[in-house]
Structure 1
Amino acid sequence: MERHVELLNIECLGKPLKLEGSLAGWQQLFWDGQLVSQKAASSDGEGLKVHQFQLQSANQHSPIEIRLEVDVRWQPFLLDYCLLADEQLLAQGQRTENDMARQAPPPHAQASKPGPLGLVSLLFKLFKSAKVIKVVLAGASIAAYSWLFSFQFALALLVCLMFHEYGHIRAMQYFGMKTKGIYLIPFMGGLALSDDKINTRWQDVVISLMGPFFGLLLSLLALLIYHLTDNPFFAALSGFNALLNLFNLLPVLPLDGGHALKSISFSQNRFMGLAICGAGLVLGVVLSYQLGLTLLGFLLAIGGLEIFMEWKQRLNSHLIPLDRYGQMVSAGWYLLTVAALVGVIWHLAGSGDAMLGLPLQILKS
């Protein structure tokens, strides 16, 4: 189901007045859950829109004329509103992108009485709430990586994955999103999940890049411990973790780098977004073929579908785009993180140890 952003939620005559809309200028106004006004999409999707409707108050015989004036600008996002009742001012104010990023997500609708499939779904949710699935997946991941490499390597890999995913979790919590925790998937890595949806492209960038950024912090910490103790384990941990997070920053959907690239490019225009994300998809196909990464090829199919949906729903997207400053900050954050991870790998390769130089050899290949 297509979702639109909640632009405004204020009180009107003791009941909630909620305005939903999209970048194309489409708007719907609800009073106490009932549709009272709507506006069609416009050519530029911005500018002043006036919603007018009548309400019948229990204390008055004649209906009350309600007027909501909304002036929206998308880049940078700015919404000015003015609410009047019979020409008397009830409320006025302004909303920015920060307000949109931190607004509480809409409550989930209550499900009807479950049938047989609903009961199965309920049992599955109870199963998840007991954290059994997380434990099972973590155990399966340790077993899988121990079978491929060693038990010690498996534990080190899980530490890297957990630290990376915790970065995503912290970013979600920063925006007030409810998190469902971290799920470790054998041979695929990990997933940080949330029930809530994002409202802005900036949220997408921050949540995507905080995983690799936390990975960078772990590599720097391990590198520091290595120089203090001369223990080669921490050097290997630093280099391998840097390579893992650098791979995740490839500009390929659905990797973290691909998500950051998608938000930056589609904030400019849909043609630029399609061209840049399409180039990332081609890069992913080349890497998948040359390195024989069948799993990456499967993920690329998901990424290709995501690019198509972004292109198709660009004008009706509920995500507030990045302004020019936000695009530059996002691109700078991405490039600096990539450069720092490469720097860690390059530094370790200079030690002369063949094992520590392996990540650099992989990059060169």
Structure 2
Amino acid sequence: MIKLLLLLFSGLKFGKLLTTGGTMLLSVVVYAFIWGWRYAVGFVALLFVHEMGHFIAARQRGLAVGAPTFIPFVGAWIQLKEQPHDAETEAYVGMAGPLIGSLGALACYFVARDQHIDWLLAVAYSGFFLNLFNLIPLSPLDGGRITQVISPWLWLAGVPVLLAMVMWRPSPMLILVAVLAGSQLWNAWKQRGDPSAQAYRVASFETRAGYAVCYIALVGFLAVMTYDLHEMLELMRHGGGTGSV
């Protein structure tokens, strides 16, 4: 833990801290006007935890990476100043965000259930849902980066999922993701016979299987938690609350 903290603060210089802190504060203020300041702080904190997963993983693999930047209603991201040299490294960095982000949401869930804090339960639900959304197997989402080392053909499974979400709850962010994903799919199709693209995705069977197991397990866990918390919050909304604090 101490090594991770040292790695974090050694990578985040003062100017980057101001950028991250300023955009986080802006996001909190915007979200607070809609959902209240407690939910806003919790939600942005979970976004930060997710992005720190990417940041730490990128630094562990020796990649130059920028500090997290936040934009209200779009989310947050870190800028990789140099691209991974192979698909396994890209998958490692991609997996770290949803994995650490899910642990953060799980911590919120346990505290909310133990202390009967309804708004924190809503934060946990948002955390689980957003990490699950990020695991849709389409680049530039984290799921697309992870499944590239397993098989880029898994991206085809992400197309109907994303289209269903756009039809179910259309938003500018989903449309932007769809446009970017379409561009990535087209590039992947054009490069299907490119030796350099094939070399980028070279990995052992054990590596592919390991990422496949982790990916499926995380998707399954997040799907169950998202569904259960959605049902729980609906019950609370109709009069069965656990007692807000």
Please state which structure has a larger fraction of its residues in helix: 2
For each residue in 1:239-289, what CA deviation from the matched residue of structure 2 results, as whole angstroms up to 9, or x when unmatched?
A: 2211221121122332111222233213xxxxxx3xx32342343123212
Q: What letter matches 2:96 in structure 1?
A: M
CA contact (8 A) 1:215 1:245 kept: yes
Partner of 1:298, secondary structure, is helix
Structure 2 residue 106 is matched with structure 1 residue 220: yes
Find out whether 1:308 has 2:186 as its counterpart: yes
Aligned to 2:163: 285
TM-score, normalised via structure 2 length: 0.78
SS at match of 2:68: strand
Distance 1:297 1:130, change over 3 A: closer
| Superposed CA offset, 1:138-172 (max 9, x none) | 23322332233222222111011001111111111
- Displacement over 6 Å in runs of 4+: none
Q: Give the SS at the match of 2:79.
A: strand
8 Å CA contact retained: 2:129, 2:226 = yes
Instruction: State the alpha-carbon separation in 2 of the partners of residues 232 and 170 from structure 1.
Output: 31
Give how far 1:334 is off.
0.8
User: Does the aligned pair in 2 maintain the 1:219–1:238 contact within 8 Å?
Assistant: yes
* C-alpha spacing 1:356/1:259, structure 2 compared with 1 (3 Å): farther
**Alpha-carbon displacement from aligned partner over 1:298-329 (angstroms, at most 9, x marks no partner):** 22111111222233334222624222222211
- The one of 354, 359, 363 equivalent to 2:235 is 354
Counterpart pick for 2:222 among 316, 341, 353: 341
Name the SS of the counterpart of 2:235 in structure 1: coil
Among 326, 332, 336, the alignment partner of 2:213 is 332
SS in 1 for 2:203: coil
Match of 1:184 in 2: 70
The yes-or-no answer on 1:193 pairing with 2:73 is no
Q: Over aligned residue pairs, what C-alpha RMSD do you find?
A: 2.6
Kept in 2: contact 1:198–1:204 (CA 8 A):
yes
8 Å Cα contact 1:172-1:178 kept in structure 2:
yes
Determine helix, strand or coil for the equivalent of 1:198.
coil
Alignment partners' CA distance in 1, 2:179 and 2:131: 21
SS at match of 1:179: coil
Which structure: larger Rg?
Answer: 1
**Aligned 8 A contact 2:148 2:201 in 1:** no
What is the alpha-carbon distance in structure 2 between the residues aligned to residue 351 and residue 131 of structure 1? 37
Write the deviation string for residues 207-237 of structure 1: whole angstroms up to 9, x where unpaired.
1111111111112222332343333343333
Looking at structure 1, the residues matched to 201 and 218 of structure 2 have their Cα atoms a distance apart, in angstroms, of 24
Pairwise mapping of residues 25-44 of structure 1 onto structure 2 (< 5 A)?
Answer: none
2:49 matches 1:163:
yes
Q: Distance in 2 between matches of 1:237 and 1:153?
A: 6
Mapped pair 1:208 → 2:94 = yes
Residue segments in structure 2 that go unaligned for 5+ positions in a row? 1-13, 239-245
> Aligned partners of 1:217, 1:307: CA distance in 2, in Å?
30
Paired amino acid for 2:224: G
Give the residue type in structure 1 aligned to 2:87: R
Instruction: Name the structure 2 match of 1:143.
Output: 29
Change (3 A) 1:338 1:196: same
Pairing 1:134–2:20 present? yes
- How far apart, in 2, do the equivalents of 1:356 and 1:238 lie? 16
Change in Cα spacing, 1:343 to 1:169, as seen in structure 2 (3 Å) is: same
Structure having greater relative contact order (Cα 8 Å, sep ≥ 6): 2
